[in-house]
Structure 1
Amino acid sequence: MLKHVQVRSSSSLLRPGGQKADTLSINSNMSFCSLHEPALSSRSSSYTSLNETQSSTGSASVPAAPPTTTVKVYTRCLRPDLEYKTMSVKYTTTCRDLVDQLLNKYRMKHRDPNLFFLTMEVATRSTGTAVRTILVLDDDSCPAQLQACYPRADSKFTVRMRHGGLVKVYDSVLMAESQYKSLLVSDRTSVDQLVQLLLTCYKSNESVHNYSLYEVCRTTSFERKLHADDRPLAIQQEWSSLAEYSFVLMKRPPGTPRSGRDFPLRRSFLQWSRNRELASWSGREISVIEERRSKSHRSPSLSLAPARKEGEKSFYI
């Protein structure tokens, strides 16, 4: 920093005795020079070090990654040739997440995750003998947290399989050469999850929202779009014949709503149509049907319904 000082004398003021008083006015002009200013570079270095200190302090405030641990899971249900698999999981990893990781490890992405669940075998010691108890874990349970409550030698995690059924879906919309695909799914698997399994089998990255699943009856030329929360296996179990009814995957036209039905969710067409037709009949017709059913000792079927009037619509969405 260069400092220029100018000194001026002024005689405008008089002393008490009549003499002029000299006054000094100091005009200081400050100019900065980057070549001859060692103090500026020191300030810059101090500012830089201060920023580094603040950045290091800020990085220390970022929350650390959650700790991980290892969990030994017995997977004979998935791979009979492998007894167990040691997985590195977080304390927030749920049983559903762990099942998904195991399916990815074993390259079984086409398997339905709802078919599998985890159990925890716990050994409790009382009166000198070890009593082993098997606990069925929910999908939201965290195995790492449960393992921390017991010694490793006294706890054992095992993958088990639920009961399911085969569902045949005509999926030529995904691949023209394919007629249908049969998948083993759980009774809790929804329509969206079934569509996602089909997309995974064909290694497609499309969204499930681009497709809809329909329940089709060949004999009555009827088809119904299923809701995303419907259970295909539960609907299939209510069919009178697998040869008449089937599931068909269709491309959803853009801009159309995913659901717009005039009947309750999670209900097959058989039960819904039966109740709707019974509500339209008179009391005498219902009594006649009940009398026929008591004589034949057969459950009511759609054949007891009155003939469809000409021009009546049979297409419901």
Structure 2
Amino acid sequence: MLKHVHFSSSSLVPYRCKTPTRDNVSLSSALSFGSSVGPELMSSWSSSTSSLQEMSSPTEPPKVMLKIYTRVLCADMEYKTLCITRDTTSKEVVRVLLNKFRMKHRDPNLFYLTMEVWMRKTGIPIRSLMVLDDESRPAELQACHPIGETKQRISLRPLCRFILQMRRGGLVKIYDGCLMAESLYKSLLVSDRTTVEELIQLILHCYNSKERPNLFSLYEVCTSKHYERKLHPNDYPIFIQNAWPDPKHFAFHLRKDMIGYQKRKESLESQSSLCFRLYV
């Protein structure tokens, strides 16, 4: 059964239209309107639709604020706050801190992170100090700390904090006249886990050089027996230095690897000749 509803024509004069229209909003399309929708409404709807699309678009991983106490780097600065992700490792945090303090020439293997946790059990505050390895993720460790214990602060000390610590290292003297003729040698404090390749990278950082470490080689030179040997990139200079019978007759010399330079030169020449042939 169809019911007919009649309205007075005088009451509908301001909204009278000659042809019936219908406003449609299609669920399959982003936006669909009938002819009766005004431009202001359409622009407002489109702007809200675009903001919804931006919110739904994939974004970067969420950031986490991490406070690290860095008195070992700078006595005047108690802590440094970093913005990291949950996947950031302790080794990466150390490198970021050295860059923040403009200490690229410092050996990152000398530093490590510790996590200090305060807990209250049976009314007695207990301090626990954990040494974090290079692959640990401080942001995840910070998120795992129990939230319910935040009200039980002990002497206004944070329940969880990260402290940068420094390992003991050894002083290594490297004769680096190949980088600068005026320079006789460089003395660097490095860790016993630092390799020859990492040591060369530190020397290049001292001169702000952009060259690659594999273009250089480190040699062990003995002045008393008049011999020298080229060290492998994965050797440990501290272990080699500790095995010297008399350090006065031994030294490390940095030299340019002529074989590596020759290969790089041939590669650049082949690339340039190829570009020239393509251009011609």
- Cα deviation for residue 58 of structure 1 reads 9.2
Task: Name the structure 2 match of 1:113.
Answer: 108
Q: Secondary structure at the match of 1:102?
A: helix
Task: Name the structure 1 match of 2:201.
Answer: 196
Task: Name the structure 2 match of 1:124.
Answer: 119
Structure 1 residue ranges, 4+ long, deviating more than 4 angstroms after superposition: 47-50, 55-62
Change (3 A) 1:61 1:191: farther
Q: Distance in 2 between matches of 1:61 and 1:221?
A: 70
Q: Distance in 2 between matches of 1:205 and 1:255?
A: 16
- Cα deviation for residue 125 of structure 1 reads 2.1
Q: Distance in 2 between matches of 1:236 and 1:58?
A: 61
- Cα deviation for residue 254 of structure 1 reads 2.6
- Aligned with 1:139 (options 134, 137, 140): 134
Q: Secondary structure at the match of 2:98?
A: helix
Task: Name the structure 2 match of 1:235.
Answer: 240
Task: Name the structure 1 match of 2:94.
Answer: 99
Q: Where in structure 1 are there 5+ consecutive unaligned residues?
A: 1-46, 258-317
Change (3 A) 1:56 1:247: same
Q: Partner letter of residue 171 of structure 2?
A: L
TM-score by length of 1: 0.61
- Aligned with 1:86 (options 70, 81, 96): 81
**Root-mean-square deviation (CA), in Å?**
2.7
Q: Where in structure 2 are there 5+ consecutive unaligned residues?
A: 1-28, 33-45, 151-157, 263-280
- Aligned with 1:75 (options 51, 70, 78): 70
TM-score by length of 2: 0.69
Q: Partner letter of residue 169 of structure 1?
A: I
Q: Distance in 1 between matches of 2:31 and 2:71?
A: 58
| Larger relative strand fraction | 1
Aligned pairs for 1:13-32 (under 5 A) are none
Q: Which moved more, 1:149-158 or 1:169-178?
A: 149-158
Q: Secondary structure at the match of 1:254?
A: helix
Q: 2:220 matched to 1:225?
A: no
Overall identity of the aligned pairs, in %: 51
- Cα deviation for residue 256 of structure 1 reads 8.8
- Cα deviation for residue 135 of structure 1 reads 0.1
Aligned residues: 211
Q: Distance in 2 between matches of 1:255 and 1:58?
A: 51
Q: 2:180 matched to 1:180?
A: no
Contact 2:214 2:260 in 1 (8 A): no
- The answer to which structure, 1 or 2, has the higher relative contact order (CA under 8 A, 6+ apart) is 2
- Cα deviation for residue 63 of structure 1 reads 3.4
